[in-house]
Amino acid sequence: MSEEILKKVKSFHDEAFEKTSPKRRSYFGEHVKFVVRYAKKFAKERGADEEICEISAWLHDIATLKDMYEEHHIEGAKIAEEFLRELNYPEEKIEQVKHCIINHRGSKRGNPETKEAQILIDADALSHFDDIELLKVAYYNSPDKMIGKLERSYAKMSPELQEKVESRLEELKMELRK
């Protein structure tokens, strides 16, 4: 794994993060950290390419930071491709990162064909279960919207992960409806 590439990817993310709006910073400050942590953990557990998983995690919402939310999965893949080419990252690996980013979005069901893509999906989805304060900011404290996001996140998870978080989903739904 190239530590130098990973440092550059993290710096690229951090620069975009610093330039985005304060509202987005309040949401994405912890979100991406959760996604990176889970992506690294799942990559080890599932025998996936750890570098692809970590790079994809850092870059999965890069387009949202650049104010391109509606198609952020598509635009993010384009941004990642351009940036990674500038680093002379191998084309085959760029394609893998793009595949992960394009398929991560819960509201636009993709077709993950690799372990790495499913890992990014799982890491992104699980991050929404970690910090309800994050959802409150993103969904204006609306219980229905927050529950909808959690249900969409749950729906895109792998069956193994769904089994592990099913009771947590029910707990959160009850908590949010109070």
Q: In this predicted model, what pLDDT tens digit does every residue of 60-82 receive, in sequence order?
A: 999 888 877 767 888 999 999 99
- Report, as an integer, the average pLDDT of 40-63: 96
Residue 127 has pLDDT above 70, yes or no: yes
pLDDT tens-place string over residues 133-166: 777 777 777 889 989 989 999 999 999 999 999 9
Are 146 and 176 spatial neighbours (Cβ–Cβ below 8 Å)?
yes
Q: How confident is the model at residue 58 (pLDDT cuts 50, 70, 90)?
A: very high
Listed by start position, the domains of the chain span 3-127
Q: Which two tokens stand for residue 155?
A: 């729906």
Closest CA to 28 of 143, 135, 117: 135
Q: Is 17 exposed, middle or buried (0-12, 13-18, 19+ CB in 10 A)?
A: middle
CATH class of 3-127: mainly alpha
- pTM listed for this prediction: 0.91
Lowest mean pLDDT among 27-31, 141-145, 172-176: 27-31
